Structure 1
Amino acid sequence: MSDNSEQIPAGDDVLGARGTDEQNPASKDPSEWVTGDEPMTASQRSYLDTLAREAGEELPADLTKAQASTEIDRLQEKTGRGQS
């Protein structure tokens, strides 16, 4: 098994880091997104459709990007898809 505790030098760009990264818009709360009020993307819609079916739920088809992101997080937790 590999040791994942290797330290990455400060200043290197990383993905999957814990906490918020003020420089990365994707790490912001969805309610703070500049484009959060725009309609959800086709990818969000497709994934939400899959998650909602697996969870036995129905969701409105007119969600915003921010709402879709929040629902994806919630449904991933409910269905276990978001776990590593």
Structure 2
Amino acid sequence: MIKARFFAQLAEDAGCDTLELEFKAGVTARKLLDELEPRIAAPGIDTLRHDVVLLSINQVMAEWDAELSDGDEVGFLPPFSGG
């Protein structure tokens, strides 16, 4: 099982803050979006595909081509800045 978590505006756009998906071997974070698409209506899925969305795997910042493992938690984060 893979847990997808959405934060801030991304949770609003997705219509939820957490979804669980069946694990499939060889799935990357980018391919996970294809698995999420039937469960998240537009414009939410379109927002997640935007290149400024940040990604974490098990609370560590990660690249979109990272391969996922069973039990991973994938976080989708909006861009942020500090001041």
If the length of structure 2 is used for normalisation, what is the TM-score? 0.25
More helix by share: 1
